[in-house]
Structure formats: structure tokens, C-alpha cells
């Protein structure tokens, strides 16, 4: 059995496909890959988390304003899924505009630097 928490979505897809085709169970923990060929996934619904955050921001801004999104590692599944959910939620509010998305790579210092540039 393999238990995998890939840092990036695209890097180990082929290895996961090979393992499952050989009958080796693969459990993805917290993060996904491009492969749909795994035994189980244990983790959060990141798309829903992004949607909830988008709804929170829309409510806090009363449906009007400019938004700069600070993201995690761009090639990680939580970042990709949260961004999609976030955009889906705020797109229901014509008065909200996502003016930029910046990656901070899950690092607090990077997030702080990005936020200071705005």
C-alpha cells in the first residue's frame, strides 16, 4: 500500500497509475493528483472551502469591491480547488472584482510581502 500526499498535482501521476495497475492500493492524503486511479482520498473538500470563503468575502464587502487573492502553492490541488470555489462564489456578485491572484506558496512571510505590495 502507498499513502501519498503529493506536493504538486502533476509530478507523481504516472507513478500512481503504475502502482494501481499493478494492484497496489494507493491512498491520497490531503492532496490529489491528475490521476483518477487511486483507492481512496482522505482530506477536505477544498472546492467547498473556497466557495465558503468567497461567500464570506462577498458578505463582508456587501457585494461590492476589489479583491486580491493570496494563494498557496499554485500547482497543489488545495490551491487549485479553493481558487475555483472562490471564483465560483464571488462571480455571483457583479459588484465584486478579482483584480489579482498572487501565490505565497503557503508561506506566511511570502503572504505578508504580497499583501504589502497592495
What is d(CA 32, CA 16) in angstroms, rounded to the nearest whole number?
11
Least confident of 13-17, 61-65, 84-88, 103-107: 103-107
Is the CB of residue 54 less than 8 Å from the CB of residue 88?
yes
Burial of 111 (0-12, 13-18, 19+ CB in 10 A): middle
Q: Would the pLDDT of 93 be above 90? A: yes
What is d(CA 110, CA 108) in angstroms, rounded to the nearest whole number?
5
Q: Would the pLDDT of 87 be above 90? A: yes
pLDDT band at 9 (very low <50, low <70, confident <90, very high): confident
- When pLDDT is averaged across residues 88-105 and rounded to a whole number, the result is 95
What is d(CA 105, CA 74) in angstroms, rounded to the nearest whole number?
7
pLDDT band at 8 (very low <50, low <70, confident <90, very high): confident
- When pLDDT is averaged across residues 31-49 and rounded to a whole number, the result is 93
pLDDT band at 115 (very low <50, low <70, confident <90, very high): confident
What is d(CA 50, CA 87) in angstroms, rounded to the nearest whole number?
8
pLDDT for the residue numbered 106: 83
Amino acid at each position: 500500500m502507498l499513502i501519498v500526499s503529493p506536493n504538486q498535482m502533476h509530478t507523481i501521476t504516472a507513478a500512481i497509475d503504475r502502482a494501481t495497475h499493478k494492484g497496489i492500493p494507493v491512498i491520497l492524503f490531503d492532496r490529489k493528483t491528475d490521476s483518477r486511479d487511486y483507492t481512496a482520498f482522505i482530506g477536505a473538500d477544498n472546492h467547498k472551502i473556497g466557495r465558503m470563503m468567497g461567500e464570506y468575502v462577498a458578505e463582508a464587502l456587501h457585494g461590492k469591491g476589489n479583491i486580491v487573492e493570496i494563494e498557496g502553492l499554485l500547482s497543489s490541488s488545495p490551491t487549485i480547488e479553493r481558487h475555483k470555489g472562490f471564483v465560483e462564489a464571488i462571480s455571483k456578485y457583479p459588484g465584486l472584482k478579482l483584480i489579482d491572484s498572487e501565490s505565497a506558496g503557503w508561506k506566511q512571510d511570502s503572504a505578508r510581502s504580497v499583501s504589502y505590495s497592495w
